[in-house]
Structure 1
Amino acid sequence: MIENRKDDHIRIASEQNVEEGNNLFNEVYLIHIALPEIDFDDVDTSMTIFGKKLSFPFIIGAMTGGTEIAEKINAILAKCAEEFGIGMYVGSQRVAIVKPETARSFRVVAENAPTALKIANLGAPQVSRLNERVLSDWVSQAIDMINADAIAIHLNPAQEVFQPEGEPWFRGVTDRLRFIKKIANRPLIIKEVGNGISMEVARTLVSRVGPDAIDVAGTGGTSFIRIESIRARAINEANIFSGWGIPTVLSICEVRNVYDGFIIASGGVRSGLDGAKAIAIGANAFSMSRPLLLSALKGYDETKKFIDNLFREFKATMFLTGSKNISELSRAPVVLGQDIISWLGQRGITCRRVGA
């Protein structure tokens, strides 16, 4: 059952070590500005995406839905999104469409975050098998379920290959993405789930789909290869493919090299400092999931504390780089480590800045 799988994901992600790979944020160095010529209170961390103003460029990552525990988690996360003025993805909504009795676990997001940026979420393999009439209905249901401001379609070939019930169906996905872009009447985000997006995939998306944002979701954070291999009791496969994919920092650079649109950095982002580094090398916003899952399982107060610390870390980094606003942070001086330089050189990539 889909619901059992959702609870498996929560249990394994919260109880076991499922983070793998190096996101390479340790090789991104922001230059300390000893004379910032601004007061800490002068720092403006806010930004606007899809017509919604965020207090800082953070979006709670896609996690869960479809079960009783997922409903509690989503309610807590939504309350925090509303209070802090940040964004929030929901987990894949397929479960609520095929089993309407589970939709309550998603609707709590709209109830608890009426004004926050909310992002609906469907999986690429599933939409690839739907005709246009049914697909249009699914998209409408997903958006209406949470009163979404945007819709994300997640690309997860590695997860589907290793999932016991996996559906590695990707033939025709690009055409379906183009159709969703046409009919959704909402911004379209294309995202990975932890293995990164390459320059080649980004180029295809730009030329054939025209997404409004790309969420790179690179390696260095939660590994769904590991999670699904644990569920399948096939740990050897997980060991062989440990770290498979594109590190988050490199995926940001790969995508920015061919895409001038909005980039969301996720995949092992674990602090406000990581988020600021992501923006300094080409992203526009950042996201994380597992740390919020762990906090939400402890309750609202713990989740609120985590986000508050995250905000302060991000604002402190802006201040220490002399960045009065997000635009200035995107132009802050950086130094890159040798692994990053080697990869970019072999790939013929210049790590461009936003709008450069």
Structure 2
Amino acid sequence: MEKRKDDHIHLAYSDVSQVGSPWFDEVLLIHNALPELDLADVDLSADFLGAKVSAPFGIGAMTGGTELAGKINAELAKAAEEFGIPMYVGSQRVALQNPSVRWTFEVVKQHAPTIPKVANLGAPQLSALPEEKVVEWVVEAVEMIDAYAVAIHLNAAQEVVQPEGEPRFRGVLEKIKLVKRAVGKPVIVKEVGNGISKEVAERLAGVVDAIDVGGLGGTSFVSIEGARALGAGLELYRRISEVFKTWGIPTAASICEVRSVFGGYVIASGGVRSGLDGARALALGANFFTMSQPLLRAVLDGRIREEISAVLTELKVAMFLVGARRVSDLAKVPRVYGPRLREWIEQRGLRC
């Protein structure tokens, strides 16, 4: 498992992991030539599931479980604390099964004591556990990083193309309900690159506090697993990953899908590559956005603070250019949708 984690890091860094389009270019925010505010008036402060944070932006789920992952998590945590933004960790199963690598996650609470931190567990693993063990895992995952919230990730497409995959999703919704009852903290359900539909969002409404859409158009774990299969000479898995690497719902469309039926907190992820993309996501109805691959690259290249600062500046400039003084104003700014997104909204009967 530890080798797989390091493989994921190296492949996520590379261009082979980037597949499709999130369709943010289908969201055109209308320029306001007379914004009636100064750039200094723009306020990025936001709410993250009840916690006050400096911006509607955070570090997405990435890694943990190896020495390299521990170093990455430490640097990400330091930056998150410095900028006052939330941070997910990667899947914690590896540390729950192997206590010797707990430190690769614990560095996050050591270096980021005050920001909201999000624990992360996989749905297929929870589905196979008895109820008492699910509760034990969740409690331990929260304690490991002093988590503010818990994310359960849905990764069905990844599991079916991963040679070591566990495509077991029977009973997952009931296990999510159990986590919500047991944890006493906000619960997020997130995808990892294939998006969430309105039908799934309807089933999660009233069960979870937040949905992280994790749409198509950025890092593809289907493509990553295909690259791993190619390196291992596993032709069938490589072929399946090639066929399904563009499977999913583009992120912009997924935000519309979820927001149409879900009244809770919506997090945009999947192919967000700038503060302007983040502004577009917020205009579509998301409350918050995260980035992963660009921040992974930045931390490995030794420029994580510069990258976060640039994203926040881009968001502030986008808000200024549409006349949005506060983050909540972005949902009210005029916009035009491109033909692909407009057609999707119409065919799916979405309110976006």
Q: TM-score, normalised by structure 2?
A: 0.97
Runs (5+) with no aligned partner, structure 1: 352-356
**Cα pair 2:91 2:122 within 8 Å, conserved:** yes
Number of residues of Structure 1 aligned to a counterpart in Structure 2: 346
1:226 maps to 2:227:
no
5 Å-filtered alignment, 1:68-217, equals 68-206=67-205, 210-217=207-214
The aligned residue for residue 258 of structure 2 is 255
Tell me the distance in 1 between the aligned counterparts of 2:50 and 2:289.
17
**Cα pair 2:152 2:188 within 8 Å, conserved:** yes
Between 9-18 and 76-85, report the one with greater CA deviation.
Answer: 9-18
Tell me the distance in 1 between the aligned counterparts of 2:49 and 2:15.
36
Give the deviation of 1:229 after TM superposition. Answer: 0.9
Give the deviation of 1:16 after TM superposition. Answer: 4.0
Tell me the distance in 2 between the aligned counterparts of 1:202 and 1:16.
31
The aligned residue for residue 312 of structure 2 is 311
The aligned residue for residue 350 of structure 1 is 351
Tell me the distance in 2 between the aligned counterparts of 1:98 and 1:238.
28
The aligned residue for residue 330 of structure 1 is 331
**Cα pair 1:21 1:219 within 8 Å, conserved:** yes
Tell me the distance in 2 between the aligned counterparts of 1:169 and 1:242.
20
Question: How far does the alpha carbon of each residue in 1:221-240 deviate from its partner, in whole angstroms, 9 at most, with x for none?
Answer: 00000000111124432321
Question: How far does the alpha carbon of each residue in 1:243-269 deviate from its partner, in whole angstroms, 9 at most, with x for none?
Answer: 110000000000000001110000000
1:237 maps to 2:240:
yes
**Cα pair 1:53 1:85 within 8 Å, conserved:** no
Tell me the distance in 2 between the aligned counterparts of 1:306 and 1:44.
20
**Cα pair 1:50 1:149 within 8 Å, conserved:** no
The aligned residue for residue 290 of structure 2 is 287
5 Å-filtered alignment, 1:30-45, equals 30-45=29-44
Question: How far does the alpha carbon of each residue in 1:289-322 deviate from its partner, in whole angstroms, 9 at most, with x for none?
Answer: 11111111122xx000000000000000000000
The secondary structure found in structure 1 opposite 2:151 is: strand
Runs (5+) with no aligned partner, structure 2: none
Q: TM-score, normalised by structure 1?
A: 0.96
Tell me the distance in 1 between the aligned counterparts of 2:314 and 2:255.
21
Give the deviation of 1:50 after TM superposition. Answer: 2.8
The secondary structure found in structure 2 opposite 1:189 is: strand
Tell me the distance in 2 between the aligned counterparts of 1:49 and 1:292.
20
Relative to structure 1, is the Cα distance of residues 33 and 205 closer, same or farther in structure 2, using a 3 angstrom cutoff?
A: same
Tell me the distance in 1 between the aligned counterparts of 2:293 and 2:32.
32
The secondary structure found in structure 2 opposite 1:218 is: coil
Tell me the distance in 1 between the aligned counterparts of 2:114 and 2:316.
23
What amino acid maps onto 1:303 in structure 2?
Answer: I
1:50 maps to 2:53:
no
What's the % identity of the aligned pairs? Answer: 55
What amino acid maps onto 1:64 in structure 2?
Answer: T
Tell me the distance in 2 between the aligned counterparts of 1:264 and 1:184.
20
**Cα pair 1:192 1:217 within 8 Å, conserved:** yes
Give the deviation of 1:330 after TM superposition. Answer: 1.6
Question: How far does the alpha carbon of each residue in 1:99-121 deviate from its partner, in whole angstroms, 9 at most, with x for none?
Answer: 00000000000000000110000
Alignment RMSD, CA only?
A: 0.9
The aligned residue for residue 21 of structure 2 is 22
Tell me the distance in 2 between the aligned counterparts of 1:90 and 1:39.
36
Between 43-52 and 90-99, report the one with greater CA deviation.
Answer: 43-52
Relative to structure 1, is the Cα distance of residues 158 and 285 closer, same or farther in structure 2, using a 3 angstrom cutoff?
A: same
Tell me the distance in 1 between the aligned counterparts of 2:144 and 2:245.
36
Report runs of 4+ in structure 1 exceeding 2 Å deviation.
234-239
The secondary structure found in structure 1 opposite 2:16 is: coil
